[in-house]
Amino acid sequence: MNKNNNMSLTAINTLVVVISIMIHTLLPGAVKADNRFFNRIATFPVYLNTDVNLETVAEIIDVSKDGKTLVYTDSQTGKLGFVDIKQPRKPEPLGAIDVGGEPTSVAVTVDYALVAVNTSPGFVAPSGHLHVVDIKTQTIIATHRLAGQPDSVAVSPDARYAAVVIENERDEDLGNGEPPQTPSGLLQIVDLVGDPADWSIRNVNLDGVADLFPNDAEPEYVDINEDNIAIVSMQENNHIVLVDLATGAIINNFTAGTVDLFQVDTKEEDPALISLTDTLLDIPREPDGVAWISNSLFATVDEGDLFGGSRGFTLFDTDGNVVFSSGNTLEHEVVRLGHYPDGRSGNKGSEPESVEFAEYGNKRFLFVASERSSVIFVYKIKGRHHKLKLVQALPAGVGPEGVKAIPRRNLLVAASEDDARDDKFRSIITIYELTKGKADYPTVISADRADGTPIPWGALSGFAMHSRNDSKMYAVHDSFYQQSRIYVMNVRKKPAVITGEIVLKEDGNTINLDAEGIAVSASGDGSFWIASEGAGSVDDPGRPVTSLNLLVHAAADGTVIERISLPDAVNAKQRRFGFEGVASVMEDGNEVLYVAFQRGWVGDPEPNNVDDGGKVRIGRYDLSNSEWTFAYYPLEVRQSPNGGWVGLSEITALGKDRFAVIERDNQGNTDARIKHVYAFSVANMVFRPEGELFDTLSKKMVRDLIPDLERTGGLVLEKIESLAVTRRGDMLFANDNDGVDNSNGETQLIRVKGVFKTMHRHDVETDD
Q: What's 35's domain CATH number?
A: 2.130.10.10
Residue-by-residue DSSP string for 429-478: EEEEEEEES-----SEEE-B-TTSSBPP---EEEEEE-SS-TTEEEEEE-
Q: Average per-residue pLDDT in the chain?
A: 94
Structural domain includes residue 394: yes
Cα 755–760–762 angle (5° rounding)?
115
- What is the pLDDT confidence band of residue 21, given thresholds at 50, 70 and 90? very low
- The number of angstroms, rounded, from the C-alpha of 510 to the middle of its chain's C-alpha atoms is 28
Angstrom distances, CA of residue 74 to CA of 64, 248, 395, 506, 753: 17, 31, 21, 52, 42
Question: What's the confidence (pLDDT) of residue 22?
Answer: 42
* The pLDDT of residue 439: 97
* pLDDT top residue among 282 and 7: 282
What does the pLDDT average to over 573-586?
Answer: 99
User: 244: exposed, middle or buried (C-beta count within 10 Å: 0-12, 13-18, 19+)?
Assistant: middle
Q: Are residues 585 and 660 in the same domain?
A: yes
Q: Which of the 8 DSSP states describes residue 414?
A: E
Q: What is the domain count for the chain?
A: 2
Q: Which helix (H) or strand (E) holds 223?
A: strand 219-224
Does residue 736 belong to any structural domain of this protein? Answer: yes
Q: Count CB neighbours of 536 within 10 A.
A: 16
Same domain, 258 and 401: yes
- What pLDDT is attached to residue 101? 98
Of 102, 95, 142, give the one whose Cα is nearest residue 118: 102
Contacts of 172 (CB under 8 A, 6+ apart): none
Tell me if 738 sits within 8 A of 746, measured CB to CB: no
Cβ(376)–Cβ(368) under 8 Å? Answer: yes
- What are 433-455's pLDDT values in tens digits? 999 999 999 999 999 999 999 99
Query: CB-based contacts of 742: which residues, under 8 Å, 6+ apart?
Result: 398, 420, 423, 424, 425
Residues 624 and 481 in one domain: yes
Position 280 scores a pLDDT of 96
Whichever domain contains 483, its CATH number is: 2.115.10
Q: What is the share, in percent, of the chain residues with pLDDT greater than 70? A: 94
Let me know whether 235 and 311 are in one domain: yes
Decide if 446 is inside a domain. no
pLDDT the model gives residue 151: 97
pLDDT 10s digits, 496-548: 999 999 999 999 999 999 999 999 999 999 999 999 999 999 999 999 999 99
Give me the DSSP letters along 324-378: EE-TTHHHHHHHHTT---GGGTTTTTT-EEEEEEEEETTEEEEEEEETTTTEEEE
765 located within any domain:
no
Q: How confident is the model at residue 26 (pLDDT cuts 50, 70, 90)?
A: low
Element (H, E) at 707: helix 706-710
**pLDDT over 90 for what percent of the chain?**
90
Q: 511-520 burial, b if ≥16 CB within 10 A, otherwise e?
A: bebbbbbbbb
Q: Check residue 579 and give its pLDDT.
A: 99
DSSP H or E segment with residue 398 = none
Report how far apart the first and last C-alpha atoms of the chain are (Å, whole number): 67
Say whether both 37 and 120 belong to one domain.
yes
pLDDT band at 759 (very low <50, low <70, confident <90, very high): low
d(Cα 220, Cα 235) in Å, to the nearest integer?
A: 6
User: Quick check: is 240 in a domain?
Assistant: yes
User: What's the pTM?
Assistant: 0.94
The verdict on 289 and 222 lying in the same domain is yes
DSSP letter string over 494-513? SSEEEEEEEE-EETTEE---
Q: Which amino acid is at 346?
A: G
Bridge-based pairing of strands 444-446 and 496-503 is parallel
Tell whether 289 and 426 lie within a shared domain: yes
Structural domain contains residue 447: no
Question: Which pLDDT value is given to residue 171?
Answer: 79
Q: Which of 31-45, 141-155, 215-229, 258-272 has the lowest mean pLDDT?
A: 31-45
Domain membership of residue 448 (yes or no) is: no
For 592-607, the pLDDT digits (tens) are 999 999 999 999 999 9
Q: Are residues 257 and 144 in the same domain?
A: yes
Residue 706 maps to a domain: yes
Same domain, yes or no, for 616 and 677? yes
Question: Is the pLDDT at 15 greater than 60, yes or no?
Answer: no
pLDDT band at residue 308 under the 50/70/90 scheme? confident
pLDDT of residue 766: 40
Q: Indicate the residue among 436, 468, 489 that finishes a domain.
A: 436
Within 8 A by CB and 6+ apart from 469, the residues are 765, 766, 767, 768
Q: What is the pLDDT of residue 179?
A: 87
Whether residues 386 and 473 fall in one domain: no
Instruction: Tell me: do 571 and 475 sit in the same domain.
Output: yes
**Shared-domain flag, residues 528 and 417:** no
Q: What is the pLDDT of residues 388-431, one digit of tens each?
A: 999 999 999 999 999 999 999 999 999 999 999 999 999 999 99
Question: Which residues, other chains included, contact 383 with Cβ-Cβ below 8 Å and sequence gap of 6+?
Answer: none
Q: Is the pLDDT of residue 288 over 70?
A: yes
Residue-level pLDDT at 757: 86
**Average pLDDT of span 376-382:** 97
Average pLDDT in the 463-485 region?
98
- The three-state secondary structure class of 422 is helix
465 with 489: CB under 8 angstroms? no
Predicted local confidence at residue 13, as pLDDT: 41
Q: For position 25, what pLDDT does the model report?
A: 52
Q: Domain residues for 509?
A: 457-752
